[in-house]
Amino acid sequence: QITLKESGPTLVKPTQTLTLTCSFSGFSLSSSGVYVGWIRQPPGKALEWLALIYWNDDKRYSPSLKSRLTITKDTSKNQVVLIMTNMDPVDTATYYCAHSGPVYCSGGSCQMYYFDYWGQGTLVTVSS
Amino acid sequence: QSVLTQPPSVSGAPGQKVTISCTGSSSNIGAGYDVHWYQQLPGSAPKLLIYGNSIRPSGVPDRFSGSKSGTSASLAITGLQGEDEADYYCQSYDSSLGGSWVFGGGTKLTVL
């Protein structure tokens, strides 16, 4: 049974750095093909993908936020950490971490660009 | 502004069928990357509803179905039930700018 849970501060001040931790169980981030991603959702708005990290430590970032994001993993602790610098009120959102869906093959191609399990999310408010 | 375009809202009466569209471009859906759908009930985290354009995870009722054609995809819900009232998001992969996981702007389904 795969579970993920986000943790971190609920309130940060503008210009501060946000550090969020995703603690997970039910899978290993050292297994080939697995990745964990971060997605956020401002109140009343749409989902926005932020970053993800693969089992082999390969990392991907949203082009629009790349300069402010760092993602790391601690396989021994079953944790993934997201760091976002220079926080602004527009970064107020619920932040989710999610597990990569298994690879599937159809129509001659195999893909795994989706998330099958999500954490409950953690609301981060940016305000002075 | 989301990379994938969805209608902001749709509605239908119980028992009816509704369809939610998701329009992309040549760097995502049109490039052959599949579309996935998530259901987000009020106050809850998103839940995977459809992956690989049309594959339902275990436990998802067959009232939900997905399809893809060209640069667009659709989610169909038949036999609408009150519990289907939620936000629905499409998601795909975009190969531009180094590769990104992209979402639609979401569609609010209201069951009348």
| Count of helices and strands (H, E) across chain A | 0, 13
Which amino acid would we find at residue A2? I
* Chain A, nearest residue to B3 by Cα: A48
Residue the block writes with tokens 């971190």: A8
Q: In this structure, are residues B55 and A107 in contact, taking their beta carbons and an 8 Å threshold?
A: no
Nearest CA among B79, B45, B30, B4 for reference residue A94: B45
The predicted model gives A65-70 an average pLDDT of 98
Q: What is the C-alpha to C-alpha distance for residues B95 and A120, in angstroms, rounded to an integer? A: 29
pLDDT over 80 at A107, yes or no: no
Q: Provide the 10 A C-beta neighbour count for residue A123.
A: 13
Mutation site, A50, A114, A122, A123, interface B, largest B CB count within 10 A: A114
Q: What is the C-alpha to C-alpha distance for residues B99 and B5, in angstroms, rounded to an integer? A: 18
Q: In this structure, are residues B108 and B12 in contact, taking their beta carbons and an 8 Å threshold?
A: no
According to the model, what pLDDT value does residue A31 have? 92
Q: Which of B45, B53, B105 is closest, CB to CB, to A118?
A: B45
Q: A46 and B89: CB-CB below 8 Å? A: yes
* Chain A, nearest residue to B106 by Cα: A46
Q: What is the C-alpha to C-alpha distance for residues A113 and B24, in angstroms, rounded to an integer? A: 15
Task: Provide the residue-wise pLDDT of chain B in tens; the chain has 112 residues.
Answer: 899 999 999 999 999 999 999 999 999 999 999 999 999 999 999 999 999 999 999 999 999 999 999 999 999 999 999 999 999 999 999 999 889 999 999 999 999 9
According to the model, what pLDDT value does residue A69 have? 98
Dihedrals phi, psi of A77, to nearest 5 degrees: -95, -5
First to last CA, chain A: 40
Q: For residue B68, which residues of chain A lie inside 8 Å, CB to CB?
A: none
Which amino acid would we find at residue A118? W
Four-residue CA torsion sign, B6, A95, A81, A62 = positive
Show the CA angle centred on residue B51, arms to residues B46 and B55, nearest 5°.
125
Q: B2 and A46: CB-CB below 8 Å? A: yes
Q: For residue A50, which residues of chain B lie inside 8 Å, CB to CB?
A: none
* Chain A, nearest residue to B93 by Cα: A113
